[in-house]
Amino acid sequence: MRLDRAMLGARAAGLARLALLALLATACSAQLGGGWATRQPDGAPRVLRLGGQLEGGRDPGATLNARATLEIGNEERPVVLRNVAVGAGGQGRALSHEPFVFGLEGGVELGVGEPSYVDFESPGAYLGARLAMLFRLYGDADFEPNQYYLLGVLVDLVPEGTAGAWTAPEGSADPATLFEAVGQLALRVTILSDLTRSPPRVEPPEPKQSDQAGAASDATSAAEATHEPRRIARAPSPRGRP
């Protein structure tokens, strides 16, 4: 009996729905990339990965991600869904002025399905690690402290690698444990919003000493004008009178 791809697709759809609900509460990103896997028959990039991630946006820290791995150019079908995985990890960014921002991500992943170029009779289990680098191509909404964004867009180029072990299902003719490594180059688009964040408080500028001196001089002049005695003009006397 071959791997039940309908069941695997249903699990992927369930993960996608959970991810969609979570995306409403925080910054989120979508990623598409292609690359290479172990046991690949040729040098063509035949592994396609679609993924999504929840992250801190302005405050890099913990991340949650989900991805699906597809094999392109299979002898039986052009595109084959091989596995799905979820993971958790952390993100750090060395933020600088445009146009360059560099970041690192890492984490662990748990997956179900089968490795690329290996056919299991039923779904196997996966445990692995992920490491990625981020190179900013567009956007600065995540490090502008005095800006308030209803909707911010960031675009990153992401070289990424994963490595882990697959546990073959019981009764499979394959070895009990199979190692797999995948490397890819991906494009990531991140959407973030400050709707759940208080607008930045802008402090009024402190007056300069010259401005303070001028204000004091104006106040003194006004006070002197207020206390100056009033002079009553007398009408001129008729000619011939003393």
Give the model confidence (pLDDT) of 6-36 as tens digits. Answer: 666 666 666 666 555 555 456 789 999 999 9
What was the pLDDT predicted at 138?
Answer: 87
Average pLDDT over residues 175-185: 91
Is pLDDT above 80 for 178?
yes
Give the model confidence (pLDDT) of 118-173 as tens digits. Answer: 888 888 999 999 999 999 888 877 766 666 666 778 899 999 999 999 998 877 77
Q: What is the mean pLDDT of the chain?
A: 77
pTM of the model: 0.67
- According to the 3-state scheme, what is the secondary structure of the chain? CCCCHHHHHHHHHHHHHHHHHHHCCCEEEEEEEEEEECCCCCCCCCEEEEEEEEECCCCCCEEEEEEEEEEECCCCCCEEEEEEEEEEEEEEEECCCCCCCEEEEEEEEEEEECCCCCCCCCCEEEEEEEEEEEEEEECCCCCCCCCCCCCEEEEEEEEEEEEEEEECCCCCCCCCEEEEEEEEEEEEEEEECCCCCCCCCCCCCCCCHHHHHHHHHHHHHHHHHHHCCCCCCCCCCCCCCC
Q: Which of 108-117, 153-162, 208-217 has the lowest mean pLDDT?
A: 208-217
Correct CATH for 5-192 of 2.60.320.10, 2.40.160.20, 3.40.50.10780, 2.40.40.20: 2.40.160.20
More confident residue, 78 or 112: 112
What was the pLDDT predicted at 96?
Answer: 53
